[in-house]
Structure 1
Amino acid sequence: MDPVESTTFTATDGFPHTALVGVTDPERTLAVQGDPEAVLPLASVTKPLTAWGALVAVERGLVDLDEPAGPAGATVLNLLDHTSGLPMEGEEPQKAPGERRIYSNAGFDALAAHIADAVGMDFADWMLREVTLPLGMERTDVTGRPSAGATASIEDLLIFGREVLRPTLIPAALRDLALTVSHPGLRGIVPGYGSYADNQWGLGFELKGVKSPHWLSDSFPPETAGHFGALGSFLFVDRSRDIAAAFLSGVPFGEEHKRIWPALTDEIAERYGR
Protein backbone atom coordinates (compact mmCIF):
# COMPACT_ATOMS: atom_id res chain seq x y z
CA MET A 1 0.00 0.00 0.00
CA ASP A 2 1.27 3.46 -0.88
CA PRO A 3 2.13 5.62 2.15
CA VAL A 4 -0.26 8.35 3.20
CA GLU A 5 1.06 11.79 2.30
CA SER A 6 1.55 14.12 5.24
CA THR A 7 0.87 17.52 3.79
CA THR A 8 0.06 21.15 4.43
CA PHE A 9 -2.73 22.92 2.60
CA THR A 10 -1.89 26.46 1.58
CA ALA A 11 -5.49 27.56 2.11
CA THR A 12 -5.15 26.98 5.86
CA ASP A 13 -2.24 29.43 6.20
CA GLY A 14 -3.13 31.97 8.86
CA PHE A 15 -6.06 29.95 10.21
CA PRO A 16 -5.85 30.65 13.96
CA HIS A 17 -7.12 27.25 15.15
CA THR A 18 -6.39 23.56 14.72
CA ALA A 19 -6.94 22.55 11.11
CA LEU A 20 -7.07 18.79 10.68
CA VAL A 21 -7.66 17.86 7.04
CA GLY A 22 -7.85 14.53 5.22
CA VAL A 23 -8.51 13.34 1.69
CA THR A 24 -9.36 9.87 0.45
CA ASP A 25 -10.23 8.07 -2.76
CA PRO A 26 -12.41 4.93 -2.71
CA GLU A 27 -9.50 2.69 -1.72
CA ARG A 28 -7.23 4.58 0.65
CA THR A 29 -6.37 7.79 2.44
CA LEU A 30 -4.40 10.03 0.10
CA ALA A 31 -3.26 12.85 2.36
CA VAL A 32 -3.60 14.18 5.89
CA GLN A 33 -2.73 17.48 7.53
CA GLY A 34 -2.31 17.14 11.29
CA ASP A 35 -2.92 14.16 13.54
CA PRO A 36 -5.26 11.70 11.79
CA GLU A 37 -6.14 10.03 15.10
CA ALA A 38 -7.00 13.16 17.11
CA VAL A 39 -10.66 13.08 18.17
CA LEU A 40 -12.74 16.25 17.91
CA PRO A 41 -16.47 17.02 17.92
CA LEU A 42 -18.34 16.61 14.64
CA ALA A 43 -21.32 18.81 15.53
CA SER A 44 -23.77 18.46 12.61
CA VAL A 45 -21.41 16.27 10.60
CA THR A 46 -23.01 13.70 12.90
CA LYS A 47 -26.12 13.84 10.69
CA PRO A 48 -24.75 11.91 7.68
CA LEU A 49 -23.64 9.16 10.09
CA THR A 50 -27.08 9.06 11.69
CA ALA A 51 -28.65 8.97 8.24
CA TRP A 52 -26.47 5.99 7.32
CA GLY A 53 -27.69 4.14 10.40
CA ALA A 54 -31.27 4.88 9.35
CA LEU A 55 -30.58 3.64 5.82
CA VAL A 56 -29.14 0.40 7.18
CA ALA A 57 -32.45 -0.10 9.01
CA VAL A 58 -34.29 0.62 5.75
CA GLU A 59 -32.16 -1.93 3.90
CA ARG A 60 -32.91 -4.55 6.60
CA GLY A 61 -36.63 -4.00 6.14
CA LEU A 62 -37.03 -2.73 9.70
CA VAL A 63 -38.05 0.77 8.61
CA ASP A 64 -39.69 2.21 5.50
CA LEU A 65 -38.88 5.67 4.20
CA ASP A 66 -42.58 6.39 3.72
CA GLU A 67 -43.78 5.30 7.16
CA PRO A 68 -45.06 7.91 9.63
CA ALA A 69 -42.41 9.41 11.91
CA GLY A 70 -42.00 12.69 13.77
CA PRO A 71 -44.81 15.26 13.72
CA ALA A 72 -48.27 14.47 12.35
CA GLY A 73 -48.21 13.83 8.61
CA ALA A 74 -44.43 13.49 8.42
CA THR A 75 -42.45 10.40 7.39
CA VAL A 76 -38.97 9.00 7.89
CA LEU A 77 -38.06 10.59 4.55
CA ASN A 78 -39.25 14.02 5.77
CA LEU A 79 -37.03 13.72 8.83
CA LEU A 80 -34.04 12.73 6.72
CA ASP A 81 -34.36 15.61 4.23
CA HIS A 82 -35.40 18.36 6.68
CA THR A 83 -38.95 18.70 5.36
CA SER A 84 -40.84 17.46 8.44
CA GLY A 85 -41.74 21.01 9.47
CA LEU A 86 -39.89 20.76 12.78
CA PRO A 87 -37.75 23.75 13.77
CA MET A 88 -34.04 23.71 14.52
CA GLU A 89 -34.93 22.89 18.13
CA GLY A 90 -38.29 22.07 19.67
CA GLU A 91 -41.29 19.84 19.08
CA GLU A 92 -43.80 22.30 17.57
CA PRO A 93 -43.84 22.17 13.73
CA GLN A 94 -43.42 25.46 11.90
CA LYS A 95 -44.76 24.25 8.55
CA ALA A 96 -46.70 21.31 7.16
CA PRO A 97 -44.53 18.36 6.06
CA GLY A 98 -43.02 18.85 2.62
CA GLU A 99 -43.82 22.56 2.49
CA ARG A 100 -40.39 24.01 3.26
CA ARG A 101 -36.83 22.91 3.97
CA ILE A 102 -36.30 23.74 7.65
CA TYR A 103 -32.92 22.58 8.91
CA SER A 104 -33.69 20.69 12.11
CA ASN A 105 -31.66 19.13 14.88
CA ALA A 106 -34.97 18.14 16.45
CA GLY A 107 -35.90 16.23 13.31
CA PHE A 108 -32.76 14.11 13.41
CA ASP A 109 -33.19 13.37 17.09
CA ALA A 110 -36.77 12.30 16.31
CA LEU A 111 -35.47 10.16 13.45
CA ALA A 112 -33.04 8.37 15.77
CA ALA A 113 -35.78 7.76 18.36
CA HIS A 114 -37.99 6.28 15.64
CA ILE A 115 -35.20 3.99 14.41
CA ALA A 116 -34.45 2.89 17.97
CA ASP A 117 -38.08 1.87 18.48
CA ALA A 118 -38.09 0.00 15.17
CA VAL A 119 -34.88 -1.95 15.77
CA GLY A 120 -35.50 -2.60 19.46
CA MET A 121 -32.35 -1.03 20.91
CA ASP A 122 -30.84 2.29 21.83
CA PHE A 123 -29.85 4.20 18.70
CA ALA A 124 -26.22 4.55 19.82
CA ASP A 125 -26.03 0.76 20.23
CA TRP A 126 -27.50 0.31 16.75
CA MET A 127 -24.94 2.70 15.30
CA LEU A 128 -22.08 0.94 17.07
CA ARG A 129 -23.21 -2.52 15.99
CA GLU A 130 -24.29 -1.73 12.44
CA VAL A 131 -22.16 1.23 11.31
CA THR A 132 -19.05 2.24 13.23
CA LEU A 133 -17.75 -1.20 14.26
CA PRO A 134 -18.33 -2.87 10.85
CA LEU A 135 -16.54 0.03 9.15
CA GLY A 136 -13.65 0.01 11.63
CA MET A 137 -14.34 3.53 12.91
CA GLU A 138 -12.64 2.82 16.22
CA ARG A 139 -12.27 6.43 17.36
CA THR A 140 -15.87 7.45 16.72
CA ASP A 141 -18.25 7.96 19.64
CA VAL A 142 -21.94 8.17 18.74
CA THR A 143 -23.38 8.25 22.26
CA GLY A 144 -24.20 11.98 22.05
CA ARG A 145 -27.17 13.60 20.31
CA PRO A 146 -27.88 11.87 16.98
CA SER A 147 -28.23 15.29 15.39
CA ALA A 148 -24.96 16.83 16.50
CA GLY A 149 -23.24 14.96 19.32
CA ALA A 150 -20.72 12.54 17.79
CA THR A 151 -16.96 12.80 18.03
CA ALA A 152 -14.47 11.25 15.62
CA SER A 153 -11.04 11.49 14.07
CA ILE A 154 -10.11 12.54 10.55
CA GLU A 155 -9.07 8.93 9.98
CA ASP A 156 -12.56 7.69 10.85
CA LEU A 157 -14.32 10.36 8.78
CA LEU A 158 -12.29 9.26 5.77
CA ILE A 159 -13.34 5.66 6.39
CA PHE A 160 -16.93 6.88 6.26
CA GLY A 161 -16.16 8.87 3.12
CA ARG A 162 -14.94 5.69 1.45
CA GLU A 163 -18.14 3.96 2.53
CA VAL A 164 -20.21 6.64 0.82
CA LEU A 165 -18.08 6.40 -2.33
CA ARG A 166 -18.30 2.58 -2.42
CA PRO A 167 -21.02 1.47 0.01
CA THR A 168 -20.75 -1.86 1.80
CA LEU A 169 -23.49 -1.53 4.42
CA ILE A 170 -26.27 -0.51 2.05
CA PRO A 171 -26.84 -1.10 -1.68
CA ALA A 172 -25.42 1.44 -4.11
CA ALA A 173 -28.98 2.25 -5.25
CA LEU A 174 -29.94 3.32 -1.73
CA ARG A 175 -26.76 5.40 -1.48
CA ASP A 176 -27.70 7.01 -4.80
CA LEU A 177 -31.12 7.89 -3.40
CA ALA A 178 -29.50 9.45 -0.33
CA LEU A 179 -27.33 11.66 -2.56
CA THR A 180 -30.17 12.70 -4.88
CA VAL A 181 -32.21 15.87 -4.36
CA SER A 182 -35.24 15.04 -2.23
CA HIS A 183 -38.25 17.35 -2.50
CA PRO A 184 -36.60 19.68 -5.04
CA GLY A 185 -37.42 23.36 -5.34
CA LEU A 186 -37.97 24.10 -1.66
CA ARG A 187 -36.76 27.31 -0.08
CA GLY A 188 -34.70 26.98 3.05
CA ILE A 189 -31.81 28.32 5.10
CA VAL A 190 -28.29 26.95 5.27
CA PRO A 191 -27.21 28.02 8.76
CA GLY A 192 -24.45 30.60 8.59
CA TYR A 193 -24.93 31.28 4.88
CA GLY A 194 -28.49 32.40 4.26
CA SER A 195 -31.74 31.55 2.52
CA TYR A 196 -31.85 29.83 -0.88
CA ALA A 197 -34.83 29.46 -3.20
CA ASP A 198 -33.79 25.89 -4.01
CA ASN A 199 -32.08 24.57 -0.89
CA GLN A 200 -31.13 21.14 -2.17
CA TRP A 201 -30.77 18.28 0.26
CA GLY A 202 -30.59 14.52 0.00
CA LEU A 203 -31.19 12.10 2.87
CA GLY A 204 -28.90 13.34 5.62
CA PHE A 205 -26.56 15.04 3.16
CA GLU A 206 -26.62 18.60 1.91
CA LEU A 207 -26.21 18.89 -1.86
CA LYS A 208 -24.22 21.80 -3.26
CA GLY A 209 -26.68 22.64 -6.00
CA VAL A 210 -26.10 26.19 -7.22
CA LYS A 211 -25.96 27.75 -3.74
CA SER A 212 -23.51 30.62 -3.46
CA PRO A 213 -21.98 31.72 -1.18
CA HIS A 214 -21.32 28.26 0.19
CA TRP A 215 -18.78 26.40 2.27
CA LEU A 216 -17.75 24.43 -0.84
CA SER A 217 -16.01 26.19 -3.68
CA ASP A 218 -18.26 27.23 -6.55
CA SER A 219 -16.16 24.93 -8.77
CA PHE A 220 -17.84 21.85 -7.29
CA PRO A 221 -20.64 20.20 -9.28
CA PRO A 222 -24.21 20.55 -8.00
CA GLU A 223 -24.39 16.89 -6.97
CA THR A 224 -21.50 17.19 -4.51
CA ALA A 225 -22.77 15.91 -1.16
CA GLY A 226 -21.66 16.66 2.36
CA HIS A 227 -22.24 18.51 5.58
CA PHE A 228 -20.59 21.07 7.80
CA GLY A 229 -20.89 21.51 11.53
CA ALA A 230 -21.15 24.37 14.01
CA LEU A 231 -17.87 23.33 15.62
CA GLY A 232 -15.84 23.95 12.50
CA SER A 233 -16.11 20.56 10.81
CA PHE A 234 -16.97 19.33 7.34
CA LEU A 235 -17.19 16.21 5.23
CA PHE A 236 -17.78 16.20 1.49
CA VAL A 237 -18.08 13.48 -1.13
CA ASP A 238 -17.39 14.43 -4.74
CA ARG A 239 -18.27 11.46 -6.92
CA SER A 240 -17.29 13.31 -10.10
CA ARG A 241 -13.68 13.26 -8.85
CA ASP A 242 -14.06 10.05 -6.79
CA ILE A 243 -12.77 11.67 -3.61
CA ALA A 244 -14.00 12.51 -0.14
CA ALA A 245 -12.46 14.97 2.30
CA ALA A 246 -12.89 16.02 5.91
CA PHE A 247 -11.97 18.94 8.15
CA LEU A 248 -11.98 19.24 11.94
CA SER A 249 -11.11 22.24 14.09
CA GLY A 250 -13.04 21.81 17.33
CA VAL A 251 -13.95 25.51 17.61
CA PRO A 252 -17.20 27.30 16.79
CA PHE A 253 -17.79 27.91 13.10
CA GLY A 254 -17.10 31.49 12.17
CA GLU A 255 -15.68 33.94 9.68
CA GLU A 256 -12.27 32.23 9.59
CA HIS A 257 -13.88 28.98 8.46
CA LYS A 258 -15.93 30.83 5.85
CA ARG A 259 -12.74 32.47 4.63
CA ILE A 260 -10.66 29.34 4.12
CA TRP A 261 -13.12 26.57 3.26
CA PRO A 262 -13.90 27.45 -0.39
CA ALA A 263 -10.20 27.86 -1.16
CA LEU A 264 -9.35 24.70 0.78
CA THR A 265 -11.95 22.58 -0.99
CA ASP A 266 -10.68 23.93 -4.34
CA GLU A 267 -7.12 23.05 -3.37
CA ILE A 268 -8.19 19.53 -2.38
CA ALA A 269 -9.97 19.02 -5.69
CA GLU A 270 -7.07 20.35 -7.75
CA ARG A 271 -4.45 18.24 -5.96
CA TYR A 272 -6.30 14.96 -5.52
CA GLY A 273 -9.30 14.87 -7.85
CA ARG A 274 -9.16 12.32 -10.63
Structure 2
Amino acid sequence: MDPLRQVSDWPVPHAAAAVLGPAGVLAVVGDTSMPFPLASVTKPLAALGALVAVEEGAIELDRPVVEYAAERLGDELAAELGSMTLRHLLSHASGLAPDRRKRGADVGAKRIYSNVGFDLVGELVADATGIDFADYLAEAVFAPLRMSTASLAGSPAFAGTASVADLQAVIGELLSPSGLLHPDTLADARSVQFPGILGVLPGYGGQRPNDWGLGFEIRGQKDPHWTSPRNSPATYGHFGRSGTMFWIDPQAQLGLVALADKGFGPWAIRAWPQLAEAVLDSYS
Protein backbone atom coordinates (compact mmCIF):
# COMPACT_ATOMS: atom_id res chain seq x y z
CA MET A 1 0.00 0.00 0.00
CA ASP A 2 1.19 3.53 -0.75
CA PRO A 3 2.52 4.86 2.59
CA LEU A 4 1.62 8.43 1.65
CA ARG A 5 -2.06 7.68 1.05
CA GLN A 6 -2.86 8.49 4.67
CA VAL A 7 -1.82 12.13 4.07
CA SER A 8 -4.98 12.59 2.01
CA ASP A 9 -7.01 11.71 5.12
CA TRP A 10 -5.36 14.24 7.41
CA PRO A 11 -7.81 16.78 8.95
CA VAL A 12 -6.20 19.74 7.17
CA PRO A 13 -7.28 22.01 4.28
CA HIS A 14 -4.23 21.16 2.16
CA ALA A 15 -1.26 18.83 2.49
CA ALA A 16 1.52 17.45 0.33
CA ALA A 17 4.34 15.04 1.02
CA ALA A 18 7.26 13.21 -0.56
CA VAL A 19 9.60 10.34 0.28
CA LEU A 20 13.15 10.32 -1.04
CA GLY A 21 16.08 7.94 -1.18
CA PRO A 22 19.66 8.53 -2.33
CA ALA A 23 18.65 8.04 -5.97
CA GLY A 24 15.75 10.52 -5.82
CA VAL A 25 12.02 10.73 -5.20
CA LEU A 26 10.26 7.48 -4.29
CA ALA A 27 6.68 8.73 -3.83
CA VAL A 28 4.67 11.95 -3.66
CA VAL A 29 1.15 12.99 -2.73
CA GLY A 30 -0.65 16.28 -3.11
CA ASP A 31 0.38 19.44 -4.90
CA THR A 32 4.15 19.45 -4.43
CA SER A 33 4.46 22.89 -6.08
CA MET A 34 2.17 24.62 -3.55
CA PRO A 35 4.09 26.94 -1.18
CA PHE A 36 3.36 26.58 2.54
CA PRO A 37 4.41 28.80 5.46
CA LEU A 38 7.24 26.81 7.03
CA ALA A 39 7.31 28.28 10.55
CA SER A 40 10.34 26.76 12.30
CA VAL A 41 11.26 24.56 9.35
CA THR A 42 12.80 27.86 8.26
CA LYS A 43 15.58 27.36 10.83
CA PRO A 44 17.50 24.52 9.14
CA LEU A 45 17.35 26.40 5.83
CA ALA A 46 18.75 29.49 7.55
CA ALA A 47 21.43 27.30 9.12
CA LEU A 48 22.48 26.00 5.71
CA GLY A 49 22.83 29.61 4.56
CA ALA A 50 24.96 30.46 7.60
CA LEU A 51 27.17 27.43 6.94
CA VAL A 52 27.72 28.59 3.35
CA ALA A 53 28.90 31.90 4.83
CA VAL A 54 31.26 29.96 7.10
CA GLU A 55 32.72 28.06 4.14
CA GLU A 56 33.13 31.33 2.24
CA GLY A 57 35.18 32.67 5.14
CA ALA A 58 32.78 35.50 6.01
CA ILE A 59 32.18 34.27 9.55
CA GLU A 60 33.53 31.55 11.86
CA LEU A 61 31.60 28.93 13.78
CA ASP A 62 33.70 29.12 16.92
CA ARG A 63 34.66 32.79 17.23
CA PRO A 64 32.73 34.78 19.87
CA VAL A 65 29.99 36.63 18.03
CA VAL A 66 30.63 39.86 19.95
CA GLU A 67 33.86 40.17 17.98
CA TYR A 68 31.80 40.56 14.80
CA ALA A 69 29.23 43.07 15.92
CA ALA A 70 30.06 44.46 19.37
CA GLU A 71 29.71 48.10 18.33
CA ARG A 72 26.32 47.61 16.66
CA LEU A 73 25.01 45.34 19.39
CA GLY A 74 25.76 47.76 22.19
CA ASP A 75 27.35 47.14 25.57
CA GLU A 76 24.27 45.67 27.23
CA LEU A 77 23.61 42.99 24.59
CA ALA A 78 27.33 42.32 24.18
CA ALA A 79 27.46 41.56 27.89
CA GLU A 80 24.53 39.13 27.51
CA LEU A 81 26.25 37.32 24.62
CA GLY A 82 29.47 36.73 26.51
CA SER A 83 31.44 33.88 24.92
CA MET A 84 28.68 32.53 22.70
CA THR A 85 29.53 31.60 19.13
CA LEU A 86 27.67 30.92 15.92
CA ARG A 87 27.88 27.22 16.82
CA HIS A 88 26.05 27.92 20.09
CA LEU A 89 23.36 29.93 18.30
CA LEU A 90 22.73 27.35 15.57
CA SER A 91 22.37 24.54 18.12
CA HIS A 92 20.21 26.42 20.65
CA ALA A 93 23.04 26.22 23.20
CA SER A 94 23.62 29.97 23.45
CA GLY A 95 21.64 30.38 26.65
CA LEU A 96 19.52 33.12 25.04
CA ALA A 97 15.88 33.18 26.06
CA PRO A 98 13.30 32.02 23.49
CA ASP A 99 11.99 35.45 22.48
CA ARG A 100 14.06 38.03 24.37
CA ARG A 101 17.65 39.14 23.93
CA LYS A 102 18.43 38.12 27.47
CA ARG A 103 20.23 35.05 28.69
CA GLY A 104 18.21 32.37 30.44
CA ALA A 105 21.21 30.13 31.12
CA ASP A 106 24.97 30.12 30.88
CA VAL A 107 26.42 29.63 27.41
CA GLY A 108 26.57 25.91 26.57
CA ALA A 109 24.81 24.84 29.78
CA LYS A 110 21.24 24.26 28.59
CA ARG A 111 19.34 23.78 25.33
CA ILE A 112 16.95 26.75 25.17
CA TYR A 113 15.00 26.83 21.90
CA SER A 114 15.55 30.45 20.85
CA ASN A 115 13.94 32.35 18.00
CA VAL A 116 15.97 35.44 18.86
CA GLY A 117 19.09 33.33 18.54
CA PHE A 118 18.27 32.67 14.89
CA ASP A 119 17.41 36.32 14.36
CA LEU A 120 20.91 37.06 15.58
CA VAL A 121 22.34 34.49 13.16
CA GLY A 122 20.71 36.36 10.29
CA GLU A 123 22.07 39.69 11.51
CA LEU A 124 25.59 38.32 11.94
CA VAL A 125 25.66 36.82 8.45
CA ALA A 126 24.25 40.00 6.96
CA ASP A 127 26.89 42.08 8.76
CA ALA A 128 29.68 39.74 7.71
CA THR A 129 28.66 39.51 4.04
CA GLY A 130 27.17 42.96 3.48
CA ILE A 131 24.06 41.28 2.05
CA ASP A 132 20.58 41.24 3.59
CA PHE A 133 20.11 37.74 5.00
CA ALA A 134 17.00 36.97 2.95
CA ASP A 135 18.92 37.85 -0.22
CA TYR A 136 21.96 35.90 0.92
CA LEU A 137 19.85 32.81 1.66
CA ALA A 138 18.24 33.04 -1.77
CA GLU A 139 21.64 33.28 -3.47
CA ALA A 140 23.48 30.76 -1.29
CA VAL A 141 20.85 28.03 -0.90
CA PHE A 142 17.61 28.55 -2.82
CA ALA A 143 19.20 29.30 -6.21
CA PRO A 144 21.81 26.49 -6.21
CA LEU A 145 19.18 23.95 -5.19
CA ARG A 146 16.62 25.37 -7.66
CA MET A 147 14.06 25.98 -4.92
CA SER A 148 11.80 27.97 -7.21
CA THR A 149 9.06 28.95 -4.74
CA ALA A 150 11.17 29.31 -1.58
CA SER A 151 11.48 32.72 0.05
CA LEU A 152 12.24 34.40 3.35
CA ALA A 153 10.13 37.41 4.28
CA GLY A 154 11.17 38.26 7.80
CA SER A 155 12.71 36.29 10.65
CA PRO A 156 15.17 33.48 9.79
CA ALA A 157 13.61 31.66 12.74
CA PHE A 158 10.14 31.22 11.27
CA ALA A 159 9.30 33.41 8.24
CA GLY A 160 10.19 31.06 5.38
CA THR A 161 7.85 29.78 2.68
CA ALA A 162 8.49 26.79 0.44
CA SER A 163 6.85 23.88 -1.36
CA VAL A 164 7.37 20.15 -0.97
CA ALA A 165 9.32 20.27 -4.25
CA ASP A 166 11.66 22.84 -2.67
CA LEU A 167 12.19 20.68 0.40
CA GLN A 168 12.74 17.66 -1.85
CA ALA A 169 15.75 19.51 -3.21
CA VAL A 170 17.09 20.08 0.30
CA ILE A 171 16.58 16.46 1.35
CA GLY A 172 18.11 15.26 -1.90
CA GLU A 173 21.20 17.36 -1.24
CA LEU A 174 21.50 16.00 2.29
CA LEU A 175 21.09 12.39 1.16
CA SER A 176 23.36 12.69 -1.90
CA PRO A 177 25.49 15.87 -1.61
CA SER A 178 26.31 17.62 -4.88
CA GLY A 179 28.51 20.39 -3.49
CA LEU A 180 26.35 22.96 -1.69
CA LEU A 181 28.52 22.35 1.38
CA HIS A 182 31.66 20.32 2.04
CA PRO A 183 30.90 16.79 3.34
CA ASP A 184 32.71 17.59 6.60
CA THR A 185 30.44 20.59 7.14
CA LEU A 186 27.35 18.48 6.50
CA ALA A 187 28.62 15.82 8.90
CA ASP A 188 29.10 18.50 11.55
CA ALA A 189 25.61 19.90 10.95
CA ARG A 190 23.94 16.55 11.61
CA SER A 191 26.13 15.69 14.62
CA VAL A 192 25.18 16.42 18.21
CA GLN A 193 26.58 19.75 19.36
CA PHE A 194 27.45 20.12 23.05
CA PRO A 195 26.36 16.55 23.92
CA GLY A 196 24.45 15.77 27.06
CA ILE A 197 22.76 19.09 27.73
CA LEU A 198 19.11 19.13 28.73
CA GLY A 199 16.26 21.21 27.42
CA VAL A 200 12.66 21.37 26.27
CA LEU A 201 11.59 20.18 22.82
CA PRO A 202 8.66 22.49 21.95
CA GLY A 203 5.40 20.58 22.00
CA TYR A 204 6.97 17.49 23.57
CA GLY A 205 8.37 18.61 26.91
CA GLY A 206 11.70 18.15 28.65
CA GLN A 207 14.26 15.86 27.07
CA ARG A 208 17.31 14.30 28.74
CA PRO A 209 19.38 14.98 26.71
CA ASN A 210 17.91 17.34 24.11
CA ASP A 211 20.19 16.60 21.16
CA TRP A 212 20.64 19.19 18.43
CA GLY A 213 22.93 19.70 15.46
CA LEU A 214 23.64 22.91 13.56
CA GLY A 215 20.09 24.00 12.75
CA PHE A 216 18.80 20.42 12.76
CA GLU A 217 17.04 18.67 15.63
CA ILE A 218 18.48 15.20 16.21
CA ARG A 219 16.18 12.43 17.36
CA GLY A 220 18.56 10.68 19.73
CA GLN A 221 16.61 8.88 22.47
CA LYS A 222 13.84 11.48 22.79
CA ASP A 223 10.46 10.26 23.96
CA PRO A 224 7.88 11.42 23.07
CA HIS A 225 8.90 12.57 19.60
CA TRP A 226 7.36 13.57 16.28
CA THR A 227 9.16 10.84 14.30
CA SER A 228 8.59 7.11 14.69
CA PRO A 229 10.23 5.07 17.49
CA ARG A 230 11.66 3.06 14.60
CA ASN A 231 13.58 6.03 13.21
CA SER A 232 17.24 5.69 14.07
CA PRO A 233 18.72 7.93 16.79
CA ALA A 234 20.75 9.66 14.05
CA THR A 235 17.57 10.92 12.35
CA TYR A 236 17.67 14.68 11.93
CA GLY A 237 15.29 17.34 10.64
CA HIS A 238 12.79 19.84 12.02
CA PHE A 239 9.10 20.57 12.45
CA GLY A 240 7.16 23.82 12.43
CA ARG A 241 4.13 25.13 14.28
CA SER A 242 2.38 25.76 10.96
CA GLY A 243 2.00 22.00 10.42
CA THR A 244 5.25 21.30 8.57
CA MET A 245 8.03 18.78 9.05
CA PHE A 246 10.87 16.91 7.38
CA TRP A 247 13.42 14.34 8.46
CA ILE A 248 16.35 12.38 7.09
CA ASP A 249 17.23 8.98 8.55
CA PRO A 250 20.86 8.22 7.61
CA GLN A 251 20.55 4.59 8.70
CA ALA A 252 17.47 3.92 6.57
CA GLN A 253 18.79 6.22 3.82
CA LEU A 254 15.38 7.84 3.57
CA GLY A 255 13.99 11.33 3.78
CA LEU A 256 10.39 12.45 4.34
CA VAL A 257 8.80 15.89 3.98
CA ALA A 258 5.17 16.66 4.76
CA LEU A 259 3.71 20.17 4.64
CA ALA A 260 0.20 21.16 5.73
CA ASP A 261 -1.69 24.37 6.40
CA LYS A 262 -3.13 23.52 9.80
CA GLY A 263 -1.22 24.46 12.93
CA PHE A 264 0.67 21.84 14.92
CA GLY A 265 -1.54 20.08 17.46
CA PRO A 266 -2.99 16.68 18.41
CA TRP A 267 -3.60 15.80 14.75
CA ALA A 268 0.14 16.13 13.97
CA ILE A 269 1.23 14.36 17.15
CA ARG A 270 -0.80 11.36 15.93
CA ALA A 271 -0.24 11.63 12.18
CA TRP A 272 3.47 12.30 11.82
CA PRO A 273 4.79 9.20 13.65
CA GLN A 274 2.20 7.05 11.85
CA LEU A 275 3.39 8.39 8.51
CA ALA A 276 7.02 7.82 9.45
CA GLU A 277 6.20 4.25 10.46
CA ALA A 278 4.50 3.57 7.13
CA VAL A 279 7.40 5.04 5.17
CA LEU A 280 9.95 2.94 7.06
CA ASP A 281 7.80 -0.17 6.59
CA SER A 282 7.59 0.40 2.84
CA TYR A 283 11.09 1.50 1.95
CA SER A 284 13.62 0.35 4.55
TM-score using structure 2 length = 0.91
State the SS of the aligned residue for 1:234. strand
C-alpha distance in 1 between matches for 2:280 and 2:216: 19
Task: Pick the aligned partner of 2:202 from 182, 185, 191.
Answer: 191
Kept after mapping to 1: 8 A contact 2:3/2:282:
no
* In the alignment, structure 1 residue 236 sits paired with structure 2 residue 247: yes
Aligned to 2:37: 41
> How far 1:14 sits from its partner (Å)?
4.3
Compared CA separation, residues 120 and 187, structure 1 to 2 (3 A): same
Aligned to 2:59: 63
> How far 1:242 sits from its partner (Å)?
1.7
Aligned to 1:94: 104
> How far 1:244 sits from its partner (Å)?
1.2
* Structure 2 residue identity aligned to 1:218: P
Aligned to 1:217: 228
Compared CA separation, residues 198 and 36, structure 1 to 2 (3 A): same
> How far 1:130 sits from its partner (Å)?
1.1
Q: Deviations over 1:173-206 (max 9, x none)?
A: 1100010010011110000000011000000000
C-alpha distance in 1 between matches for 2:33 and 2:5: 22
* Runs of 4+ more than 6 Å apart: none
Kept after mapping to 2: 8 A contact 1:69/1:111:
no
Aligned to 2:77: none
C-alpha distance in 1 between matches for 2:116 and 2:23: 35
* Structure 1 residue identity aligned to 2:102: E
Across the aligned residues of Structure 1 and Structure 2, the Cα RMSD in angstroms comes to: 1.3
State the SS of the aligned residue for 1:134. coil
Aligned to 2:237: 226
C-alpha distance in 2 between matches for 1:144 and 1:268: 34
C-alpha distance in 2 between matches for 1:145 and 1:29: 30
C-alpha distance in 1 between matches for 2:9 and 2:33: 23
> How far 1:248 sits from its partner (Å)?
0.7
Aligned to 2:274: 263
C-alpha distance in 1 between matches for 2:205 and 2:253: 29
* In the alignment, structure 1 residue 22 sits paired with structure 2 residue 18: yes
C-alpha distance in 1 between matches for 2:269 and 2:223: 12
Kept after mapping to 2: 8 A contact 1:23/1:243:
yes
Aligned to 2:154: 144
Kept after mapping to 2: 8 A contact 1:23/1:244:
yes
C-alpha distance in 2 between matches for 1:83 and 1:214: 20
> How far 1:270 sits from its partner (Å)?
1.8
Kept after mapping to 1: 8 A contact 2:3/2:278:
no
**Could you list the runs of 5+ residues in structure 1 that have no partner in the other structure?**
1-6
Identity %: 40
Kept after mapping to 2: 8 A contact 1:69/1:79:
no
Q: Deviations over 1:223-257 (max 9, x none)?
A: 10000000110010111122211111122100000
**Could you list the runs of 5+ residues in structure 2 that have no partner in the other structure?**
67-80
> How far 1:26 sits from its partner (Å)?
2.7
Kept after mapping to 2: 8 A contact 1:11/1:267:
no
